[in-house]
Amino acid sequence: MATTEKTAVVDVVVVGMGPGGESVAGELAAAGLKVVGVESGLVGGECPYYGCVPSKMMIRAGNAVAEGLRIPGLAGQAQITADFSVVAKRIRAEATDDWDDAVAAKRFTDKGGHLIRGTGRLAGPREVTVSMPDGGERTFRARLAVVLNPGTNPALPSDPSLSGTPFWTNREAVQATEAPASLVVWGAGPIAVELAQAFARFGSKVTVVARGPGLLSREEPQAAKLLAEVFHSEGIKILNNTNITAVRHSAGGFRIEATDSAGKVKRLRAEKFLVATGRTMALAPLNLSGAGIEWDGKTAPSVDPHLQLAEGLYLIGDAAGAGAFTHMSMYQGNIVSGHILAKHAKQADRGSAESHAVPRVTFTDPEIGAVGLSEKQAREAGLSIRVGLTEVSASTRGWIHKSGNQGFIKVIEDTQTGVLVGATSMGPHGGEVLSALVLAVHARIPVATLKTMIYAYPTFHRAIAQALADLK
């Protein structure tokens, strides 16, 4: 790297080596550019160490327990003894290397990248100053681009009674070595419900405290209602329209006061307390104003179709506001690396980012996949719509599946264009079934064409045809 008196000059600086940032940095380094990747935590970010990968290992293990309990009525008798230590060891050995990112770091440096451990902040439009763990600082000036990928952190309620207590966020939950005897979960979003069900299937007595009227407020009401029914059948308690108003901890565990919308106080006791009340953008430490970027401190700042905040300054990932998903971060990273290479290495541009068909999956059982607009969102957008819905259990595959066959497929058509603008697939393998619906929404395939498709029999995805036939 060429250096001035205090500033190293490189081609690209990537601040935040989560999935999208690692993808951009690795591709550009492999293309021969001088790339600095800046990371204060683990290379790879939240997903492989505290999010997607370890939590899905837990969920897979819990689902295996549940499936074993479904053997009566399907295949005879079985005796199931759940052991959380098995999946805890797998998370350490296979997913996280005991929360060591040496492999991921080497993956980047082997491509020619230069990894800097520290916290980066903007000192100019294409200048990044890194605060190092030893208290020192280094500054890098990028000739071509700075890519910001700050991600998000667990959002903690401003409740002083939390301070000093050993509550869990998702990060501590996936590091558990045993399932607690009892668990209170504060929150009703995807992380909350996934972990609640996973621990319950390993014997934890779980209570979910939802600040709103139900679970998964972003999803279709049919999904929230069905998941609540499943939770009740599995012994998971749900307190709706309730807020945590006091938290105390002692050697005996947590004592929690939960107050509902009518002012009634319920006192809860639990060995562990999981706070899963959302995520917050980690933009503040970046000092956007140092590059002349205005930010209100709350909403995601505006970017152009190539995800630029300004010329040569890109923002990707959770904090970009198009969806806090690993797949979205990597998609955006692909757009950005393609844009940089198109401008500076004369390669083909990969187009601009689109967000009308971002898929998401909540990995509960039944699994909930969704894409595009919900029915409520479509109506609020002023669209003239038709809605179709079919129960998975009413399909031939659902009837064959028998135990654990709850679910539905819901499709939303814009009658002006004749294409789907949203869909939900809930049920066994709901996220996998969603793929056909994602393609339909993304490519704006006419509903008339979807109705002429041949859907394999007997499959779960065949219920898509039944939902389309129900459009009205």
CATH number at residue 325: 3.50.50.60
Say if residue 338 is in the same domain as residue 366. Answer: no
Model confidence at 345, in pLDDT bands (50, 70, 90)? confident
Say if residue 119 is in the same domain as residue 25. Answer: yes
**278 marked among binding-site residues:** yes
The confidence score (pLDDT) of residue 17 equals 98
Strands 313-315 and 308-310: antiparallel
C-alpha span between 321 and 324 (Å, rounded): 7
Average pLDDT across the chain, whole number: 95
**120 marked among binding-site residues:** yes
Query: Quick check: is 187 in a domain?
Result: yes
Cβ contact 8:91 at 8 Å = no
Query: Quick check: is 96 in a domain?
Result: no
Cross-sheet strand order for the sheet of 265-270: 242-250, 253-260, 265-270
Say if residue 316 is in the same domain as residue 446. Answer: no
22-56 per-position pLDDT tens digit: 999 999 999 999 999 999 999 999 999 999 999 99
| Domain end point (choices 277, 299, 324) | 277
Model confidence at 6, in pLDDT bands (50, 70, 90)? confident
The confidence score (pLDDT) of residue 3 equals 43
**Integer angstrom CA distances of residue 119 from 15, 282, 313:** 8, 11, 17
**413 marked among binding-site residues:** no
Say if residue 197 is in the same domain as residue 304. Answer: no
Say if residue 138 is in the same domain as residue 284. Answer: yes
**Domain, as residue range, for 168:** 160-277
Q: How many domains does the chain have?
A: 3
pTM of the model: 0.95
**56 marked among binding-site residues:** yes
Query: Quick check: is 88 in a domain?
Result: no
Say if residue 201 is in the same domain as residue 293. Answer: no
**472 marked among binding-site residues:** no
Cβ contact 13:142 at 8 Å = yes
Query: Quick check: is 118 in a domain?
Result: yes
Query: Quick check: is 353 in a domain?
Result: no
The confidence score (pLDDT) of residue 353 equals 86
Query: Quick check: is 167 in a domain?
Result: yes
| Domain end point (choices 248, 277, 306) | 277
DSSP characters for 3-41? Answer: E-SSEEEEEEEEE--SHHHHHHHHHHHHTT--EEEEESS
What would the mean pLDDT of 111-123 be, rounded to a whole number? Answer: 97
Say if residue 179 is in the same domain as residue 266. Answer: yes
The confidence score (pLDDT) of residue 326 equals 95
Say if residue 309 is in the same domain as residue 425. Answer: no
221-280 per-position pLDDT tens digit: 999 999 999 999 999 999 999 999 999 999 999 999 999 999 999 999 999 999 999 999
| Domain end point (choices 344, 369, 388) | 344
CA dihedral 115→118→119→125, nearest 10 degrees, is -40
**318 marked among binding-site residues:** yes
**312 marked among binding-site residues:** no
Say if residue 199 is in the same domain as residue 301. Answer: no
Say if residue 301 is in the same domain as residue 383. Answer: no
The string over 108-126, giving b where at least 16 C-beta atoms fall within 10 Å of a residue's C-beta and e elsewhere, is beebebbbbebbbbbbebb
**Residue 10: both structure tokens together:** 């490189």
**Residue 111: both structure tokens together:** 């491509």
CATH number of the CATH domain containing 442: 3.30.390.30
Query: Quick check: is 79 in a domain?
Result: no
**191 marked among binding-site residues:** yes
Say if residue 270 is in the same domain as residue 339. Answer: no
Identify the sign of the CA torsion 300, 303, 306, 310.
negative
**367 marked among binding-site residues:** no
**Percentage of the chain exceeding pLDDT 70:** 99
**190 marked among binding-site residues:** yes
Residues 6+ apart with CB under 8 A from 130: 38, 116, 118, 119, 120, 121, 137, 138, 139, 140
The confidence score (pLDDT) of residue 304 equals 94
Query: Quick check: is 28 in a domain?
Result: yes
Say if residue 295 is in the same domain as residue 257. Answer: no
* pLDDT reading at 4 higher than 60: no
